[in-house]
Structure 1
Amino acid sequence: MEKKISDYILVSSGLGVMVAYHVWLFYRIVRHPNKTVIGINAINRRLWVRAMMEDASKNGVLAVQTLRNNIMASTLLASTAIMLCSLMAVLVTSGGHSESPLVVLGDKSVFGFSIKFFAILVCFLVAFLFNVQSIRYYSHASILINTPFKNISTHAHHRRLTADYVATTVNRGSYFWSLGLRAFYFSFPLLLWIFGPIPMFSSSFLLVFLLYFLDVAFEFCWADGNLDYVPQRDEEEEIGK
């Protein structure tokens, strides 16, 4: 009974730390995007999309190749995730788990191992779904980014709306790719949970510590960032002066 209690306390604490960190990160991305790597990248992607669409005949090939590289990266992660899902499904349904001597503390029963493998399976399945959505948005963006919006409308407002829509599509593809990658990150503590709740609890804190330095922008903070901000033509000319 004490072993199961240690699983409940340590595993719940480890998951709570990771969830709390990502809630905090989501708040920072929404409220202070200029202080996070994800937010700064989203702003710069909007500027990149607008630059590519300014001259589609000249930059169209570059834009499509860049998006194709992102599609290939998402495809690789999706293929890896579904392969690992199949492996975890076999381990869950085999029922041939034996007590591991490497488990120092925690539940060593067959049912306990099934729960651990099932949690890892769910993690990889979520990663697969997120990466599939990323491929979907990148595929749409590869067509939309070559839209001849200058020939469709001469109104500057309509042109800006078209560029903003394409930029939003590209950003959504990147967001889903990041979420799929986070699902892979979440799987590491769950994999170590196989060896007991203590490795899982320790790896959760270590993962959050490392992700903090990967997610927070220390040197490239803008004064006021906004995910929807795109400099206007007069602002660009003023900056150029």
Structure 2
Amino acid sequence: MEQLDYILVPLGIALFISYNFWLLFAILRYPKRTVIGLNAESRRQWVFSMMSDPLKNGVLIVQTLRNNIMASSLMATAAITLCSLISVQVSNKAGFPNLSSEIGKGYKRFVASSSVKLLSILICFLFAFICNVQSVRYYAHVSFLATLPTSKDRKESIEYVISNLSRGSYFWSLGLRAFYFSFPLFIWLFGAIPMFLSCCVISFVLYFLDTTSLCTQLLHSHSMNGESVIAIDVDALEG
């Protein structure tokens, strides 16, 4: 069974990583075919709309960003709490009993294998914690930038706010991916075959969650018609 860990586990991890690299390529080349790309365009439209009058929309901007900060803070808290629990579990397994028989050696190999699996889960949650903390950082920074009256009708300032808001959202997505990947790592505790099957199922489910249908793209294109009008108004004011 240990030989399966050397074959199926790397295959499962490679499958999950390959899917995410394909998703990154799709976001960069065909953003409207992905949910992340459509959400990025929606955030862009929202920023242009809100910063057309920061004094009037300031409360709405802060409330919206506060909701995002609370969501990221909740995920970061959950990640660091799970890290603490796993650290305690790993430290408890570190003390092997002084057994010299074959049973003792087998127990030590089992505990060592479990510690490696728990350490992998720990690293995954630490990555999720860091990503969510960075997301909170960018959202908090945007809450100041988006409410500046001096940024009104200044396209370069609005673009800077959009870039920071997008970074916060991308860090949120990375943290969420780490939580998704933690499921196969947890399943790995029950064996290499369940872990590989879990990677396949997670990748399959994420494909349908990350991609958009033609109907969704059409509906989104209709909702984005107002963005071009706002951008034209800003350009006209600058000219």
TM-score (norm 1): 0.84
Return the alpha-carbon distance in structure 1 between the equivalents of residues 197 and 109 of structure 2.
19
1:108 deviation in Å?
A: 6.2
**Alignment match of 1:231 (pick from 228, 231, 236):** 228
Return the alpha-carbon distance in structure 2 between the equivalents of residues 120 and 85 of structure 1.
8
Equivalent position of 1:15 in the other structure? 13
Q: Is the 8 A contact 1:130 1:177 kept in 2?
A: yes
Return the alpha-carbon distance in structure 1 between the equivalents of residues 155 and 169 of structure 2.
21
- Between the aligned residues of both structures, percent identity stands at 50
Return the alpha-carbon distance in structure 2 between the equivalents of residues 221 and 24 of structure 1.
23
1:109 deviation in Å?
A: 1.5
2:212 paired with 1:217:
yes
2:181 paired with 1:186:
yes
Q: Is the 8 A contact 2:72 2:172 kept in 1?
A: yes
**Alignment match of 1:57 (pick from 41, 52, 55):** 55
List runs of 5+ in structure 2 lacking aligned partners. 97-107, 222-226, 235-239
Once the two structures are superposed, the pairs formed by residues 57-96 of structure 1 within 5 Å of their partners are 57-95=55-93
2:136 paired with 1:135:
yes
Return the alpha-carbon distance in structure 2 between the equivalents of residues 64 and 234 of structure 1.
23
1:145 deviation in Å?
A: 0.4
Q: Is the 8 A contact 2:50 2:57 kept in 1?
A: yes
Q: Which amino acid aligns with 1:213?
A: F
1:231 deviation in Å?
A: 3.0
Q: Is the 8 A contact 1:116 1:194 kept in 2?
A: yes
Runs of 4+ in structure 1 off by over 6 angstroms are none
Return the alpha-carbon distance in structure 2 between the equivalents of residues 41 and 209 of structure 1.
21
Return the alpha-carbon distance in structure 2 between the equivalents of residues 65 and 223 of structure 1.
24
List runs of 5+ in structure 1 lacking aligned partners. 99-106, 152-157, 225-229
1:149 deviation in Å?
A: 2.9
Return the alpha-carbon distance in structure 1 between the equivalents of residues 169 and 17 of structure 2.
21
Equivalent position of 2:165 in the other structure? 170
1:234 deviation in Å?
A: 7.1
Return the alpha-carbon distance in structure 1 between the equivalents of residues 210 and 166 of structure 2.
16
After superposition, give the CA deviation of every residue in 1:10-54 in whole Å (9 maximum; x if it has no partner): 111110110000000000001111110000100110110010000
1:57 deviation in Å?
A: 1.6
1:4 deviation in Å?
A: 1.9
Q: Is the 8 A contact 1:97 1:110 kept in 2?
A: no
**Alignment match of 1:206 (pick from 191, 201, 208):** 201
Q: Is the 8 A contact 1:97 1:113 kept in 2?
A: no
C-alpha RMSD of matched pairs (Å): 2.4
Q: Is the 8 A contact 1:35 1:222 kept in 2?
A: no
Q: Aligned with 1:146: secondary structure? A: coil
Structure having the larger proportion of residues in helix: 2
After superposition, give the CA deviation of every residue in 1:86-131 in whole Å (9 maximum; x if it has no partner): 0111111111699xxxxxxxx9621110100000000000000000
After superposition, give the CA deviation of every residue in 1:163-198 in whole Å (9 maximum; x if it has no partner): 010011111111101100100000000000000011
Q: Aligned with 2:217: secondary structure? A: coil
1:5 deviation in Å?
A: 1.4
1:222 deviation in Å?
A: 8.8
Equivalent position of 1:104 in the other structure? none
Return the alpha-carbon distance in structure 1 between the equivalents of residues 231 and 160 of structure 2.
21
